[in-house]
Structures are given as C-alpha cells and as structure tokens.
Chains A and B, each alone.
Chain A
Amino acid sequence: MKIGLVLEGLHRSENELVHELFMVSERHKVDHEIYHLARDLAGWSRQHVREIAAIGKQYGKDLDPGPPGESSLMEKIREKGSEMMGRQGEAGLLLLRDLREVYVKASGVSADWEMLAQAAQGIKHRDLLDVAQRCHAQTLRQIKWANGKLKESSTQILVS
C-alpha cells in the first residue's frame, strides 16, 4: 500500500500552497482582496495540513501538523515593498504570475486529493475518504478563486 507516500507528498504540496498564498498576500498587500482572500484561503490549507498529519498516523507517517505561519520580518519587508510598488504598473504583471502560480500549485494539490479519494474508496477507508472529500472541495474553490482573479485582472493589466 502506497497511501502513506501520497499523504507525504500531499502534506508537502499543501504546505507549499500555504507558503505560496501567504507570499502572494504579502506581495500584494495593496491589492486588498488578494491580500485578505489569499490569507483566508491559506487558512484552509493549514487546516488540511493538520488533517493530513492526523490521518497520516494510520498509514505509518509522522507528519508535522504545524504548517508554516506568517509575519516574519522578511514578510513585513515584502508588505512594505508592496506598498511602495503599489503605484507602479509593473506590479500588475507580478500579480498575474503569482495568481498563475497559486492556480498551478492548487491544481497539483487537487490531483493528490483525487488520487487519495480513489484509493480510499478502493480499500473502503471511510475516514480517509471523508477527509479527502472535505478538503478537496475546498481545494477546488481555491483553484476557482485563482482562475477567477486571473480572468478578472488580465485585461486591465495586459492592455494598459
């Protein structure tokens, strides 16, 4: 059984997504919806990390339930940088790149949850299936958020 390995990989991917969302939030502090929503959505992935760590024990994995936090000195510096960059049009391109990255990372996480849900059904592990279904629903919403934001922002940033 290779479920433990998938959980380990997913644990890493969700952690990376948390990190990415926080970074996007800090870099785009002056784009207030991005700033706030990225943090809210990072919260979902942090919860996923906790759930993965909890269920990982059943599959022989000792995973860290404490996902990366926020508010280090470097992050404050990034926020300040965002405020100073906020009047320059080039910040827009960076925003599109960052949203694309969230989209890609969240899509990877989604694929991992799909795999887990398939395996859980195959071996009839209800606990795992329940976690996978709950968390995956939120991952899909993270993807749609990034996609929606890309769609909404691209025109203005690219044509002006």
Chain B
Amino acid sequence: MGTFELATDSVAGANPEREMDMARIDRIAEPWGTRTPYGSGSEWPVRVDSHLAQGMVPEEVDKWVQTASVLHSNGDAMDIAVKDNRIVGVRGRSGDRVNHGRLGPKDLYGWQANASPDRLTRPLIRESGKLVETDWDTAMGRVVARSKGLLAEQGPSAIGFYTTGQLFAEEYYTLGVLAHGGLGTNHVDGNTRLCTATAAEALKESFGCDGQPGSYTDVDHADVIALYGHNMAETQTVLWTRVLDRLAGPNPPKIICVDPRLTPVARAAGVHLAPRPGTNVALMNGILHEIIANGWVDMGYIEAHTVGYEQLQNEVKKYPPALVAEICGVPAEKIREAASVIGHAERLLSTVLQGFYQSNQATAAAVQVNNVNIIRGMLGKPGCGVLQMNGQPTAQNTRECGADGDLAGFRNWSNDAHVKDLAKVWNVDPMAIPHYSPPTHLMQMMRYVEEGSIRMLWVNGTNPAVSLPELARIRSILQQERLFLVVQDIFLSETAQLADVVLPAATWGEKTGTFTNADRTVHLSEKAVEPPGDARPDLEIFMDYARRMELKDKDGGPLIKWQDAESAFEAWKECSRGRPCDYSGISYDKLRGGSGVQWPCNEENPDGAERLYADGNFWAQPEYCESYGRDLITGAPVEAHEYKALNPEGKAVIKAAEYVPPHELPSQKFPFQLITGRTLFHFHTRTKTARAPELQAAAPDVWVEISAADAGAYGIAEGDLAEVGTPRGSVRARVRVSGIREGVLFLPFHYGYWDTDGGHEPDGAGRAANELTITDWDAASKQPIFKTAAARLARIGAGNGPSPAPTNTASAPVAEFPAEARTSGIPSARVDEATGTTRTGEAL
C-alpha cells in the first residue's frame, strides 16, 4: 500500500501539443483528485479523468461510446472505451455541463463489473426447489401464464412491480404504460422509495410539483452552501469536487453542514451541527426561528409569491434556540451562528439528502429547507437554489415516467382532467388507469405480499433482500410458497436466489437509452458492447411481456406502440409535452456529442432550462400541479377543494410542521441510536462495486462506527469485533472509532450475503445493517426510516489490526493510526487527469 504523499506522479506538460497538464493519481487515496481552483461566478475549469484497463493505451481503443455514470445520481458524462467488443475503460467528457470531464472513483473502476464471469447469461426457473437454466420462451411463458391466471382469478390487484432507480427513461415509461394502462394495477413502485421519495414529496409540498429548482452551476455562484444530511463528498463526489475547487479559489463560499458524523463535508464546514438522530425538524424550526426573528427574510417575495407564511411564523415561534439545543443536543450558539450565516447569505444554495430523507419526519424536515430558501427569496437565480438530491442515477426518470407509481409526466392522480389527458396519450379508457387512491408505495406492497393479496411480484434491478428494513421479515415475505417472485437482474443477487423465475438483463454499456440526473440534465447512454450470453435489455423484456400478454389499447391496437429505445423515447416525449418535465425539444441527435440538456426543453426553452422558478413563477396552479400535497404529520392527502382554497393562484406553499419524536427511542436495554448509510467506494448492495477490485479493496467488509467517548466507556478499541443488536436482530462488525456523535452508531448498509457462505441470508452472525432497522416510514413520502433505531453494542473480542473501514471518508479514524493501514489504491488504481483546456477543448 502507498501513502497520500506517494500517490501523485506529476508529468506536467506531457502533451505539449494541447498544452495539457497530465498527472497520474491514485483515486482511491484521493477520491476527489487534483484541485483546479476557481472564483465566484467564473467557469469551473476542465479536468479530464480517464482510466483504462492495465496495459491498454488510448491509441489501441477501437471506439469511444457516449454515456454517463450509473453508480450515483450526479450524471457525470463519460465515454466508454471499447476494444474487441469489450469495455476497456472510461474517460470523462470535457464538454459536458455536469462534470467538465471529471469522474468519481465508482465510475473510474466500476465498469469492470460488466465483464464479471458470474453475470447472469441465461433465464432461470425454479424446478424441484432449485433454479435451473432455461430459454426465454419457457421463462416468459411461466411469467405470462401466472399473470393471466391471476388476472382471471383476482384481477390486477394480485400483481405488483418493484423497479429501480437504475434503468433508462424508455424502460420506466414502458413499464409504467404496461402496468398502469395495460394490466391496470396500482402496485408499481421503484427503490427510489428508499432514496428520493422524500425529495419528490418535499418538492410537491412546497411547489405543487416535482422538479429540481436549482442547478449544479449554482455552486459556481453561491456565497453560502448549506448541506443538510448530505454527505456530498461521498455520494456525489464530482459535485463535491466542484465545491472543493470553489473553496480553493478566491471568494470561497461558506459551508454549513448538518450531519451527526464527522464527514468530509463537516470537516470543510464553517459551522457543523451534529444533531441527535431524528430531530431534524426541531433543528430546522430553530434555524427558521432565528431567521424570522432577526428579519432576515424577503417580505416582498413572501407577499408576492407564497402562501402560508403566517403559519410558519406561529409554528417556529415555539422553537427558540435554547429549547432546540435541548432537543437536538446541539449548542444554542451554533444554531444561532448557522442561522446567521444562512440569514446573511446573498446567494444561498441548500442541498438535502439521506440524513433528512431516511430519518424521522423526513418530508417535514426537507420542506423546512425549502422554506429557508423561499422566505429568503432565494430561488431561480444564479447561486440561489435548492437541490433536493437523488441517490440513484436514474431516479428522476422513475419519478417522471410513472414507475414510482405516480402518473407519467407529473400528472396528478387526483385530477380527473390529468387522467383523461393521459388516457388520450395512451389511447385507453380513463377507467383503465387506476387513480382511485394514491399509488401503492413499496412498503405497503410488501405488506400486501405478506398478507397474500399480492401474489406475483416482479422485482427488477434492485435487491430488497438486502436493502429493505428488517431483513428477517423481508426474507420471510419473499420466501412464501404462495408468492410468485420474478427477478430481473444482471447478477444472482440475494433476492434473485429466492425467485421463481430469473430474467437475465443487459446493463449500462450494453443497451441504449436516456437518463436524467439530479439537476434535470438528460444524457444519452449508447450501447457499446453486446450483452453476455442471452441477456436482454430491460426494455426488450418489458416489450416482450406486453406482446405476450396481448395488451391492447381501446381500439384493439397494441398498447406498446414502439419497437426500440429511440421510438420509446419519442413516445415518452409526446407524453411529457406540455408538462413540467417537458422533453419535447430533446432528441437522440440533440444529445449525441456535446453536453447533456436540462429539461424542460421545448419551444420556449430550445436548449433546456438551467433553473426553475425564476421570478417566483411556479407550477402549483390547482389545474396544473402534480399534487395537492399531504398532511406532513399524518400523511393524509389534501383534497382538491382544500388546495384550491389554500392556493388558488399557484404560489409556493410554505408548510410548517411540529417536531414529533422518533417512534423508537433509546432505552436502558438499547442505549444507542443506530444510523445506517453509505461509503464513497460502494453503491447499494455492492452488486457492481464489489466486483471492481479497486473499490472492493478500499472497503472490503462491514464495520461499525462509534465515538471515542463511547469506545472508552465500553472498553472497546479500534478493530475489535463487536455485536450491534436491536429488537429485530444483530450484526457483527469490526469497530472504527470515528468522529461520530456520542451515543450514535453507524453501519454501512452495502454488505449482504451473496459473497458469503450464507448466499442470501446470514450464515451465523448477521452482516447486513438492515437486519437491525425498524419497519417504519415517513407518513408523507412513505420513505422508510433507516436512521433512527435504538441499539445496543457488545464487545465480542479483540481484532488483529484496524477495522476495514476507509480512512479518508466519514469513517476516518480520530486517533493515531498506522500509516500503512490508511486507505490507498491497489496498483491498478492509478487514474490519468488532464487539466489545462476549456470545455470546448481550447488550451488555457
């Protein structure tokens, strides 16, 4: 292993022709790479990151194929290097608005998973209890026979679809049409329920509609960036690189961080608030209390463009800093200091992620962040924005296209005119589209499976047997004999091992489609190589199913009228026309070459729209809005007439919320609070990242984080083996003594069982963090709560060295640490970085 100091071989000026500076960097040791500082309002310099297979040189690459990253939500544009129908590397696209050439570690190394020898290459069916290989006709025949049988016997309420945040827009749209308009089931959701449901709900509550208000370019202009439960350094590494480059340049922004862990963001912050888990609403109300009490508000904006300010004033009056300090365990001084920085900001960018979305009162807390920007009048201008972030690369499309249960094109399920309009687009009877109640969210679908009214569940591109809360319960639900479980995936995941039919899918680089990142940037991802064996693109699988099911429109024609990715995109464009997420001005040709394009892209915005809600114009008119909202505490949907009375002119809605304590609080028996989360080096349940040697070596196994004070009190040392227990199960992990808040334990949720002897379940001690989590969700967004469970900790024995946790991320050790055990890359982790050109390729 190397060290930080040895990681860089500078070869400045190695390519004199283009005046580029070249460097080779260990991007495991330095995940954010080399600084390219820039000042407020200027353009972020280009840095092109590339990584090729050992021994491969650019001159030998057959072709470069355009795409963007699928191992996080940032949407970093890149090209795939292809040699002899094999992916041999990646290179960032310098001209793209999102990343200006940069790539994160997961992109630089993760592509290797495509060529893993254990890819699924043939369909599997269960015979005498075992999964055996078969052909597509047999496998699809079984799925279709069961579907038709259930439709005849019970109707569409027997069938549910659980999709992902990692397919392409064309695939989600096709799935949404066939499930909603064809089968007529209300049971469609994505695993975006676990990552971005609260982002979507918070935007609907405040602005009447989903849609990211801000833009990544707001980082270039902001003078204050406030990150709420958002460890951007690890979840969107390239966006964080942009922030680091601002911090290294003239007029750096001030950073506010709310996080119970000492994350890289917290280390860079001017003010770091580390609240007790589950108290975010109290904290936000405290900050809002200070902002309002000090008059740091834009009354002109509030009066012209909002409703509900008075209720907010009345609510936050009850949260003076001294009280909030008690609830949150944060000094009152720090709350005042944070509020003052935010209150004096001239260009405030607020970002939110899982620390709010997966915690107690998720939507209520995220909405209060919107409120900060609304009452300060800081929306729709350079540097003034809100980024309610996504966790997954294509989560935005799951939401837009209707694969999360919402109606396609941000149509409002409780507005009959919208349903009628959608029925016209699909050429079906409006009654064919279920809209009698809110769409069934995932956790409710699992309940219906448990009690036996959903009898066929089709899971694709996600791994609920590791990623859902309370795994013993989830396994027992999925293992029921009476459930027909279809799993469509690229590996035999824990969930696939429980399936009745397994459908092998093609993945990124093996199929064509588009997807949209967290700041509405649409990218084209082209097919670079053939999928392995008989694996097929998800789009083809869905179209094949619709064909075999003989799904028809109301005139007897085929319901699915497209044949390939591009024609599916054209159909989706028509569906989105005139809606907020308007793609009608985008085409594959427009996306080829050049940069990604931000929606809405239409006649009015031919090159897309950088920011939403300029001049205080919203999509919240009762006739146009996507949602009338919900009660933030009870989750009860607001009725149309109530919304019309509240917000007849479609202004921004300021919604207040009282603090409600978490449902599971520490006790004598379970004295800690357990939070789960992610690390920079892995994505989800590691199906891809664990198959990339550099990433796997950087974070090879589960660990548990504990504060130095708690470690002392429990007589636990770095590297010891400990058991974390909750009323639902236990997990054994090696201890990292980190900068986490006292009384709080952290477990990464990535580690399951597919690479252990247990296969799909624990073989002895538990390893998956979700053995421990509670089945409970936010009543408004229906997002499960992964970050508020009571837990106990016991030392099992001494370790033989430090824990396997990364040392250059939020899990960094706080005590003296042996240099040779610090995180650094294996030899193949060296990455080329080229700086010194502009986005158009000219020398600086």
Contacts and interface: CB of A to CB of B under 8 A. Distances in A.
Interface of A: 30-33, 36-37, 39-41, 86-89, 91-92, 141-142, 144-145, 147-149, 151-152, 154-157, 159-160
Contacts of A159: 154-155, 157
B451 A33 contact: no
B631 interface: yes
Contact of B634 (A145, A155, A156): A145
B451 A152 contact: no
10 contacts: A32-B777, A41-B634, A86-B450, A87-B450, A87-B451, A89-B452, A142-B634, A144-B634, A147-B636, A155-B436
A147 B158 CA distance: 24
A120 B448 CA distance: 47
A49 B169 CA distance: 52
B512 to A, nearest CB: 37
Given A33-B777, A160-B154, A160-B157, A88 B451 contact: yes
A152 B452 contact: no
Contacts of B437: 151-152, 154-155
B41 to A, nearest CB: 46
A87 B455 CA distance: 13
Contacts of B633: 40, 141
A148 B636 contact: yes
B637 interface: yes
B400 interface: no
Contacts of B444: 33
A36 B636 contact: no
B631 A141 contact: yes
Interface of B: 154-155, 157-158, 186, 436-438, 440, 443-444, 447-448, 450-453, 631, 633-637, 660, 663, 775-777, 779
A43 to B, nearest CB: 8
Contact of A31 (B186, B438, B447, B452): B447
Given A30-B451, A33-B777, A155-B437, 20 more contacts: A32-B443, A32-B447, A33-B443, A36-B663, A37-B779, A86-B450, A87-B451, A89-B452, A91-B451, A141-B634, A144-B631, A144-B636, A148-B637, A152-B437, A152-B438, A154-B437, A155-B157, A155-B186, A156-B448, A157-B453
A106 to B, nearest CB: 12
A32 B728 CA distance: 14
Nearest to B453: A160
A145 B447 contact: no
A32 B155 CA distance: 26
A41 B660 CA distance: 11
A86 B451 contact: yes
Nearest to A157: B453
Contacts of A148: 634-637
Interface centre among A33, A39, A91, A147 (most CB of B within 10 A): A33
Contacts of A89: 451-453
B436 A141 contact: no
Contacts of B447: 30-32
B450 A30 contact: yes
A123 to B, nearest CB: 25
B635 A145 contact: yes
Nearest to B158: A160
A4 to B, nearest CB: 30
A36 B776 contact: yes
Contacts of A39: 663
A152 B777 CA distance: 16
Q: How would you classify the secondary structure of chain B's contact residues: helix, strand, loop or mixed?
A: loop
A137 B633 CA distance: 13
Nearest to B187: A156
A27 to B, nearest CB: 14
A89 B186 CA distance: 18
Nearest to B778: A33
Nearest to B156: A159
Nearest to B477: A87
Given A36-B776, A144-B631, A145-B636, A156 B453 contact: yes
B663 A33 contact: no
B318 to A, nearest CB: 12
A39 B660 CA distance: 12
Contacts of A40: 633, 660, 663
Contacts of B443: 32-33
A86 B449 CA distance: 11
Contacts of B636: 141, 144-145, 147-149
The 4 closest A-B pairs by CB, nearest first: A148-B636, A160-B453, A145-B634, A144-B636
A48 to B, nearest CB: 15
A86 B451 CA distance: 6
A82 to B, nearest CB: 11
A37 B636 CA distance: 11
B775 to A, nearest CB: 5
B719 to A, nearest CB: 37
Nearest to B784: A32
A136 to B, nearest CB: 15
Nearest to A147: B636
Contacts of A91: 451
Contact of B635 (A32, A37, A147, A151): A37
B634 A37 contact: yes
Contacts of B777: 32-33
B157 A33 contact: no
Nearest to A88: B451
Nearest to A92: B451
B516 to A, nearest CB: 29
Contacts of A88: 451-452
Contacts of A154: 437
Contacts of B450: 30, 86-87
A156 B436 CA distance: 11
B449 to A, nearest CB: 10
A46 to B, nearest CB: 14
Nearest to A40: B660
A34 B663 CA distance: 13
Nearest to A149: B636
A40 B662 CA distance: 10
B575 to A, nearest CB: 25
Nearest to B440: A156
Contacts of B637: 148
B279 to A, nearest CB: 16
B453 to A, nearest CB: 4
A87 B186 CA distance: 21
A105 to B, nearest CB: 16
Contacts of A157: 453
Contacts of B453: 89, 92, 156-157, 160
B448 A32 contact: no
A89 B437 CA distance: 20
Nearest to A31: B447
A140 to B, nearest CB: 10
B782 to A, nearest CB: 8
A32 B452 contact: no
B117 to A, nearest CB: 40
Contacts of B440: 156
A155 B634 CA distance: 20
B369 to A, nearest CB: 23
A81 to B, nearest CB: 15
Contacts of A160: 154-155, 157-158, 453
B452 A87 contact: yes
Nearest to B470: A32
A157 B451 CA distance: 10
A91 to B, nearest CB: 6
A149 B437 CA distance: 10
B779 A33 contact: yes
Contacts of A156: 157, 440, 448, 453
Nearest to A158: B157
B482 to A, nearest CB: 9
A71 to B, nearest CB: 13
B451 to A, nearest CB: 6
B657 to A, nearest CB: 12
A160 B159 CA distance: 11
A155 B440 CA distance: 11
